[in-house]
Amino acid sequence: MKLIVGLGNPGAQYARHRHNVGFMVLDRLHGRGMGSEWREKYVGLAARAVIAGREVTLLKPQTFMNLSGRSVVRAIQQMGAGIKDVLVLHDELELPFGEIRPKVGGGHGGHNGLRDITATAGADFARVRVGIGRPAQGAVDAYVLAGFSKDEAPLLDAMLDRAADLAEKMVGEGPDAVVAKATAPKKPAGRNR
């Protein structure tokens, strides 16, 4: 893993929105990895950090969500990396709030940031999917571009920490190994005789 990308929208007005969970998790990793100062680079904000003993680049695209691929492509080209060297941290409507899952490859599931990365760079990147749940009613756009509810807000820090833990594990152990462990069937608890 050479590049860890957090997805979100630039600007203080979006900072605590559900759609900016990727930025929030990336900030946790930046703090843990003694990250360098954020600098404008790759059509985004980039920093260096040491995650799981490996030096990586952290990237927050500043293109708005639906053009995230432009920043990712610029970074991998200039770094001499490939799409398989990328880990993307993003919000996931299809997971209940607080659920965190690893994934490698696959479709975009309607997520505009993933859609653009897939269209411009390919789909073979690793992901940390951070569950934000789906709205019970109303438009999805309004839901993702809103803050967390009163019930969710107290649980947010723990969720971000768990997502950062999973990202570290994916860097340290490799995404395929982490996904294999996460998707392996659970062995039933047996009795010793």
CA separation (Å) from 78 to 1, 75, 86? Answer: 15, 5, 13
The catalytically annotated residue of 19, 30, 90, 111 is 19
Residues 114 and 126: beta-carbon distance below 8 Å? no
CA separation (Å) from 112 to 12, 100, 121, 129? Answer: 20, 19, 14, 14
- Based on the residue annotation, tell me whether 19 is a catalytic residue of this protein: yes
CA count, 13 A, side-chain hemisphere, 131: 16
Q: Which residues are catalytic?
A: 19
